A and B are shown apart, each in its own frame.
Chain A
Amino acid sequence: MDIPGTTENIHAYLSGQLTVEQVEAFEQWRDTSVQNATLVEEVEDAWQHALLYESPDFDSASAIANMPFGKDEKLVPVDKSKASRQWRFRWAAAAAVILAMGTWTAYQLNKTELRTIDGRHAQFINLEDGTEVFLDHNGEVSFPEQFAGNERRVILDGEAYFDVAKEAERQFIIETDFANVIVLGTEFDVTEDDDAETVEVYVTEGKVRLQPTGSDVFVDIEAGESALYEHKSGKLQRIRQADMNRIAWHTRHLRFAKTPISKVITDIESTYDVSIDYQNSGIADCTFSSLYNKVEVTKILEDMSVVFGIRIASTQEGHYVLSGGDCNPGKAN
């Protein structure tokens, strides 16, 4: 092997077609410069993700009529898309029920009092002004039935996602123990952590101000950014490249760009509220790249299984065990 740095040699390396000596020579060449290493990394990335290729679906139910053994059509396979539609319908129904219960509770309460709703009992609240609040399981929001005066003020404990109705006259303010979030735009996520004494805001749309309680300083952040306030140290920080996977529990929008599997797994766990064990710690640093918009958790796990040769088992609802696999299964052969 004379010039190792061509794509065909990288392919030979990745597909395990080089001899031990050639592998050594190749790796030496790879490690001589950043450009070489980057090229290998890029080709490897393409090689690895090619496994995500998907052939179209075929239907055995209509084809069996052509078979000598298949005149009987009783065995009709379950239509996967129909099943997931039903699932979604059931979810919508459940949400409606919770909402109805919330309304009923509201009726029981005195109008001037603050109502408190927590994420274990309701996931969604529609405020008087049309603002929508989505509660994570640890979120708790207190709000009046009617906002008084010229501002809209709610109190938050834990995490919630807000889609605030636009109203120029009445400012929207979220009070937490340590800081206030003043809304200058529309959609964002707020997390107040009582133990760590922090408040974190992620903005998906519009503009938001985070201001520590009783303080004059504040940061304004926009879409794609986050802000963090640490009460203990008094540190107030604006993060321009926010990790938007943090709020995927609501947006169902996950983005992985050469993300280590260990992080992919924690993101999946918090997004879908599932638990994932992996028995092969050797895969923790393999990197995965993909983008998901409102897919089911199994789709992501299946993609990872394809790319890394991981086996997936589900021992119980919401619990997955990953085993085997390696960063580049092709090379192992």
Chain B
Amino acid sequence: MNKISEKQRSDEDILALMRSNPQKGFEMLFHAFYAEVCRHIYRYIPNQSVVEDIAQDLFAELWTKREALNITKSPGAYLHRMAVTRSLNHIRDNKKHLHVSDEALKSSPSRLHSAHEEMSATELSVVITKAIDALPERCRLVFMLSRFEDMSNAGISKELDISVKTVENQMTKALKVLRTAIDKFRRIE
């Protein structure tokens, strides 16, 4: 059985169940997509408890609006869009926070630093995750929006209310850090 069609079938099953038995259907939707939604939001807001709050609000609101809800095709894509919108709203509402927390981010050791500190990084994905999480908060955010949402520099500038020049500078900085990290990783091996 082809994986892709299996996925489509399970999406259809969930949507059908959400209509016939909303409680069971939402439970299934939650178990199928909660972790994915959280991991998605984490790309833009690297704080696990804030991420879980946003994700749970999102699912709770869907439940409240379930009568009017009309997800026709892919619940994954629908939730993905919602996750990005929610993340950007949260960032806008906490804008002050964004500017002061560059240092705060640096001083709070990221999860990967603690989890993988002792073992030498044997996988590039670990090295890259570490390098990205160590970027200053705004630099990380700009980079992630460009990389994972395909947002243009102009779009990011508008969304975050910063100049295009700042977006370009942050991108340059992030790419430089990544290049150095990858280069160092290859040299070790």
Contact = CB atoms under 8 A, between A and B. Distances in A.
Interface string A253-291: 001010000000000000000000000000000000111
Interface stretch (B73-81, B89-97, B99-107, B171-179): B171-179
Interface string A52-91: 1111111111011011111010010100000000000000
B30 A67 contact: yes
A92 B60 CA distance: 45
Contacts of B48: 56, 58
A54 B35 CA distance: 12
A295 B123 contact: yes
Contacts, number: 151
Nearest to B121: A291
Nearest to A8: B168
Interface stretch (A39-47, A107-115, A184-192): A39-47
Interface of A is mostly: mixed
A303 interface: yes
B171 A8 contact: yes
B123 A56 contact: no
A293 interface: yes
A56 B150 contact: no
A312 B3 CA distance: 8
B147 interface: yes
Interface stretch (A9-17, A22-30, A137-145, A230-238): A9-17
8 contacts: A7-B172, A42-B183, A47-B147, A47-B175, A55-B39, A57-B35, A291-B185, A330-B150
Interface of A: 6-8, 10-12, 15-17, 42-43, 45-47, 49-61, 63-64, 66-70, 72, 75, 77, 255, 257, 289-293, 295, 303, 311-315, 330, 333
